[in-house]
Amino acid sequence: MRECSKKCLAALRCCTEDECRMWIDYPEDQNCTLIAVNKHGPMTLKEVAARHHISIVRAKQIVDATLKKIKSVVMFDRY
């Protein structure tokens, strides 16, 4: 976990660094993706979508596109 996340978690305060890649507009998880994952572990698409204020369908599209990119890199490395 990043130092900024550790500080926010220890101080029990929300992160204010909205320029950070890990920042989300979700105060229940102290506005931090890393804290959310640390607290809840694996999450469903519904939970992820709620935290990022997107639909479940959009979350699934992002997951599918990411898996496709990973697969292409893995297949490229095999040859």
Model confidence at 79: pLDDT above 70: no
Distance CA 15, CA 13 (A): 7
Each residue's pLDDT tens digit, 47-68: 999 999 999 999 999 999 999 9
For the chain, how many structural domains are there in total?
2
- Predicted confidence at residue 1, as pLDDT, reads 78
Residues 20 and 31 in one domain: yes
Residues 58 and 77 in one domain: yes
Each residue's pLDDT tens digit, 6-25: 888 899 899 988 899 999 99
pTM of the model: 0.74
- Predicted confidence at residue 64, as pLDDT, reads 98
8: exposed, middle or buried (C-beta count within 10 Å: 0-12, 13-18, 19+)?
buried
Model confidence at 30: pLDDT above 90: yes
Residues 63 and 50 in one domain: yes
Residues 53 and 68 in one domain: yes
Structural domain harbouring 25: 1-41
Residues 20 and 56 in one domain: no
